[in-house]
Chain A
Amino acid sequence: MIDQRIFEDLQTKIDEESAVRDDAPRKPFSRGRIQRPVIMKTVLDDATASIAAQKEEVARLKAVANQHPFYKYNGVWSRELQNLVASIELCAWLGGLQEHKGPNSASFMTIDDVGKYLDVLVNLKEQDAFHLTIEEYLLALISMVEELSRLAVNSVTLGDYERPLQIGNFIKDLFSGFQLLNLKNDILRKRSDGIKYSVKKVEDVVYDLSLRNLIPKSGAAV
């Protein structure tokens, strides 16, 4: 006495849901590797162009995603969106995307700046629509910190002795920001626990440089 229709309906539903998954564009977000100060401008321009292209992908994604409850499929693109935001932040911190930074943002773009730039809403609480969540934004910042700690090492290799210091100051500020959060045992907690290693990595570089008196002291230093 088991009604077959029950199972047929379930199958239809499963098929529908899978179709949506296939619809959502998978975006290979590439990251700009920015290293030599000499060619900084070219690299930033490249990165900006690539970010602008991905911005259009986001618009496509938004159109598809908005037809469904946001959190139902959020996991499908969350990772890619984080990568994009991390690239944007990195690019902005290095001096790109200046026109999109808010007036009182420090050296990086706030969540509102990013939202405005990508033309997506941020941190929605009531409205069910495509947006960038706080968690995604914070995770992107952590990715940026990780990239910056690599850059600190590499910029020394490339002869830029000043940047590690800037990076060190910046990520220490971010680090103290993250320490203000009450994190539960989730991905954000796990990733933000890793920031201290990035901080340490940069501090080691700064230490090595200052030990050898290699840190430029005047503002004119290149």
Chain B
Amino acid sequence: MGTKRSWEGQPVGLHVKSEMNTSESANSILSIFENFRSELDEHHDRRERIIKTSRDITALSKKIIFALQRVRATNAPIPPKIAKENQTRLEQITTLFTNIVPDLQGINAWRYRSISSGIQEYIEAIAFEHYLRTQTLITHGEVCARVPTGILVTEEDYLLGLFDLTGEMMRFAVLALSSGNASTSTSTETQTAETTKQLPHLSASQAGIVFDLRAMRASFEELTVPRKHNMLRDLLKKVEVMQNSVEKVERAAYGILVRGSERPSGWTPDLSVPVEVGVE
């Protein structure tokens, strides 16, 4: 191995040469990276704008949901005071969406999915409002119609939004169950029980929400999501929360039904609707 050379060979000449090479290539590397820097900055700025918008939308949507939790009746128009309050919030959300549309065009629609959490919260809000008004589930198409064009609402957003909706429905149902109580049946239904005592029933709106929640749970559970699907991770958590919510409502309904009759006999809910639906 002729590796060890004389120190005095021409160390200076070589040095200069290699240094020149290095600085030349170093310069080209630096200019390449400066270019990358501006590209990445652009990306990070856009990402931050979108995250901020998403958070703002989430906050506004949460406020809408809080307001809606003060509503007491399903299948009826939202009380004007709450409706008006929410209308301004909805307008703010629309503005936020509209402002972010340019950042989410074309290829970027799928790149910056950080907007998704805002969209999900918004879906939760409008789905809840939709449910309170009509006692039906909002469809994906209806959701899409309520965001400005250019905002992509995926089925995944929609589905995850619906999961969150069950949580809100749970809170609503528990409140509804405890404020209105099971009205003792006044219907002429014949009872199979030997006792002459009338069996308690839930009021129609109370029964309806319990029924709907159970139907939603059944449908959610029917969905099979393959292991590889990337929404699976979020989904497993949400399924668990959803199951808990539904069970809470089931137990609450049961409790009201069975123990509600033990309430003072003179106590009747003011808004009691004629009983039509019994919960089996």
Q: Name which of B3, B108, B224 has the most chain A CB atoms within 10 A of its CB.
A: B3
Q: Is B136 an interface residue (CB 8 A)?
A: yes
Q: How many residues of B contact A (CB 8 A)?
A: 59
Chain A contacts of B135 at CB under 8 A?
1
Q: Is B66 an interface residue (CB 8 A)?
A: no
Do residues B106 and A182 form an inter-chain contact, with CB atoms below 8 A? no
Residues on A facing B (Cβ under 8 Å):
1-4, 6-7, 9-11, 13-14, 17-18, 21-22, 69-72, 74-75, 104-107, 110, 123-129, 134-135, 138, 159, 161, 169-170, 173-174, 176-178, 180-184, 188, 213-214, 216-219, 221-222
Candidates A6, A11, A213; contact of B139 at CB < 8 Å? A6
Do residues B14 and A18 form an inter-chain contact, with CB atoms below 8 A? no
Do residues B107 and A184 form an inter-chain contact, with CB atoms below 8 A? no
Residues on B facing A (Cβ under 8 Å):
1-7, 9-11, 14, 18, 22, 24-26, 28-30, 32-34, 36-37, 39-41, 44, 47, 105-111, 113, 135-137, 139-140, 155, 158-159, 208, 212, 215-216, 219-220, 222-226, 228-230
Query: Whole-angstrom distance between the alpha carbons of A123 and B224 in the complex?
Result: 36
Chain A contacts of B106 at CB under 8 A?
126-128
Query: Whole-angstrom distance between the alpha carbons of A180 and B223 in the complex?
Result: 48
Candidates A17, A106, A219; contact of B28 at CB < 8 Å? A106
Q: A176-B26, A182-B41, A222-B2 are in contact. Are A17 and B229 (CB under 8 A)?
A: yes
Q: A214-B4, A218-B14 are in contact. Are A180 and B226 (CB under 8 A)?
A: no
Chain A contacts of B107 at CB under 8 A?
69-71, 124-129
Do residues A21 and B36 form an inter-chain contact, with CB atoms below 8 A? no
Candidates A7, A106, A222; contact of B223 at CB < 8 Å? A7
Closest CB-CB distance, B230 to chain A, in whole Å? Answer: 7
Q: A17-B229, A177-B33, A180-B37 are in contact. Are A106 and B25 (CB under 8 A)?
A: yes
Jot down 14 A-B pairs with beta carbons below 8 A, ordered by A: A10-B158, A11-B223, A11-B224, A14-B229, A70-B111, A71-B110, A71-B111, A110-B32, A123-B39, A173-B25, A181-B40, A216-B3, A216-B4, A221-B3
Given A2-B136, A18-B226, A126-B107, 12 additional A-B pairs, CB 8 A: A1-B136, A3-B139, A11-B223, A14-B225, A70-B110, A71-B107, A71-B109, A106-B29, A129-B107, A173-B26, A180-B37, A182-B37
Closest CB-CB distance, B277 to chain A, in whole Å? Answer: 12
Chain B contacts of A14 at CB under 8 A?
155, 223-226, 229
Least CB separation from B113: chain A residue: A71
Q: Name which of A128, A174, A188 has the most chain B CB atoms within 10 A of its CB.
A: A128
Do residues B228 and A69 form an inter-chain contact, with CB atoms below 8 A? no
Chain B contacts of A105 at CB under 8 A?
28
Closest CB-CB distance, B126 to chain A, in whole Å? Answer: 15
Q: A3-B137, A169-B22 are in contact. Are A134 and B29 (CB under 8 A)?
A: no
Candidates A10, A21, A173, A213; contact of B22 at CB < 8 Å? A173
Query: Whole-angstrom distance between the alpha carbons of A213 and B6 in the complex?
Result: 10
Query: Whole-angstrom distance between the alpha carbons of A2 and B218 in the complex?
Result: 11
Query: Whole-angstrom distance between the alpha carbons of A123 and B42 in the complex?
Result: 12
Query: Whole-angstrom distance between the alpha carbons of A174 and B24 in the complex?
Result: 13
Chain B contacts of A127 at CB under 8 A?
106-107
Q: A7-B219, A13-B155 are in contact. Are A182 and B44 (CB under 8 A)?
A: yes
